[in-house]
Amino acid sequence: MLKTLLSWSLKLALVAIAITWFPYTAEPPRWQTPRLEALNSASSGPANLLSVQPYLVPGDYVTPQNLYTRLQGYLQAARREGWLTAQTIAVFPEHIGTWLVAAGGGVYANHAPSTTLAMPPIILKHPLRFAKYLLAADEQDPLAAAVFRSRAGEMAALYQSTFQTLAREFGITIVGGSIALPAPRIQSGSIVVGEGPIFNSSFLFFADGRIAGPSLKQFPITSELPFTAAAAGPVPVYQTPAGLLSVLICADSWYPQVWEEVRRSGAELVAVPSFSAPDNLWRQPWQGYNGAAAPADVNPAHVGTLTEGEAWLKYAFAGRSAGIHAGMNTFLRGDLWDLGDDGITTAVLNGRVVQGQPHDGPVLSSLWFDPRGGR
């Protein structure tokens, strides 16, 4: 631990020197007009699930205003298309809130070639707080855990402000993707954090300003396990203007026991915020389940023979959502440091699977349905 502290002390000193000598600017990233995908006819019903596949870059997180402006622009495009009503549920992708950890990191975090090299300016925001959490960390990746804990309160506030404001402004319900927070809960109408494990967490934002949640990820993948914990069930269900909704964060949609929880809850609608990486993953051979053992119904012969995209269709949301009235799987796209990304918007309506077109850019996809058609 002493060696780690000395190494990071040197990195922080170098970044501090850089900050002293080079000016900071926070120009908003270039706007990309989103592709509009109607997954079915608006005559299918008065309610809709709206997938918001953003294209995000580090500059979107340099200031909270940048992220808000980017997401606001997408919803304005949906409104111009007539895709926003009081019964709209907009689904944002997994980890869209997690990278608020970089807020205020400035041009140095913005232009870093990797997430690791983006961390020093973030740590410099609260170096003593970071050191406190680093010394106390018992996670496999204590550095990542300490970074997220040292910024957790600010991250929660920025995340809430962004999505609560958007839900009010556009008069819709929003599934706020996900955000990594320690022991999150709602207290007196606000998202607060605790001193417990870090969970990949999702919250629901209503048009009247209310917040519901959290929905916590039960099956973190290999890249998340070093600093996030697996949550226990059951899956929460939320009453929305369009029907009863459950939120499954990415990998949770691959496990039949989670779907059993959904069915017992009476949920009619399911939102699945996802993040799939690296680049071009969906065309590569499937490597099997990631982070936990494969369920008993998985054919071992499919590992290495199906593509990743085919495995998503067979074993994840599209293949396991029988009995659900409507659902939407939304992916994060962009150019965020060295992470990479992939994924195709996927919807289900009364057992019928509808996929959008692959696009490495922003996409808005609308699935219309009649809430009275739910079970």
Give the model's pLDDT for residue 151. Answer: 96
In 3D space, the residue among 77, 93, 47, 74 whose CA is nearest the CA of residue 349 turns out to be 47
Which residues, 6+ apart, have CB-to-CB distance to 329 below 8 Å?
51, 253, 272, 274, 316, 317, 318, 345, 346, 347
Q: Hey, what are 355's tokens?
A: 């996929």
**Is there a domain that residue 339 lies in?**
yes
| 177 residue type, one letter | G
**Is there a domain that residue 116 lies in?**
no
Give the model's pLDDT for residue 106. Answer: 79
- How far is C-alpha 94 from the geometric centre of its chain's CA atoms? 2
How many whole angstroms separate alpha carbon 230 and alpha carbon 235? Answer: 13
Bridge-based pairing state of the strands 333-334 and 55-56: parallel
Query: What is the rounded end-to-end Cα distance, in angstroms, of the chain?
Result: 55
* Domain harbouring 348, CATH code: 3.60.110.10
**Is there a domain that residue 18 lies in?**
no
How many whole angstroms separate alpha carbon 293 and alpha carbon 135? Answer: 32
- How far is C-alpha 153 from the geometric centre of its chain's CA atoms? 18
**Is there a domain that residue 137 lies in?**
no
pLDDT in tens, the chain (375 residues): 444 444 544 454 444 444 433 444 455 678 899 999 999 999 999 999 999 999 999 999 988 899 999 999 999 999 999 999 999 999 999 999 999 999 988 778 888 999 988 988 889 888 999 999 999 999 999 999 999 999 999 999 999 999 999 999 999 999 999 999 999 999 999 999 999 999 999 999 999 999 999 999 999 999 999 999 999 989 999 999 999 999 999 999 999 999 999 999 999 999 999 999 999 999 999 999 999 999 999 999 999 999 999 999 999 999 999 999 999 999 999 999 999 999 999 999 999 999 999 999 999 999 999 998 754
Is the peptide bond preceding residue 234 cis, with omega within 30 degrees of 0? yes
Give the model's pLDDT for residue 374. Answer: 54
**Is there a domain that residue 300 lies in?**
yes
Torsion angle, alpha carbons of 104, 106, 108, 109, to 10: 40
In 3D space, the residue among 362, 350, 273 whose CA is nearest the CA of residue 56 turns out to be 362
Bridge-based pairing state of the strands 190-192 and 238-240: unpaired
Q: 224 and 234 in contact (C-beta within 8 Å)?
A: no
**Is there a domain that residue 47 lies in?**
yes
Give the model's pLDDT for residue 2. Answer: 41
How many whole angstroms separate alpha carbon 160 and alpha carbon 212? Answer: 11
Query: Total structural domains in the chain?
Result: 1
Determine how many CB atoms are found less than 10 A away from the CB of residue 45. 19
Give the model's pLDDT for residue 28. Answer: 66
Give the model's pLDDT for residue 372. Answer: 84
**What's phi and psi for 314, nearest 5 deg?**
-85, -40
Which residues, 6+ apart, have CB-to-CB distance to 12 below 8 Å?
120, 123, 124, 127
**Is there a domain that residue 67 lies in?**
yes
**Is there a domain that residue 123 lies in?**
no
How many whole angstroms separate alpha carbon 247 and alpha carbon 255? Answer: 14
Report pTM. 0.93
Domain that holds residue 317: 35-99+158-373
Give the model's pLDDT for residue 255. Answer: 98
| SS3 of residue 115 by DSSP | helix
Q: Percentages helix, strand, coil for the chain, rounded to the nearest 5?
A: 35, 25, 40
Q: 153 and 129 in contact (C-beta within 8 Å)?
A: no
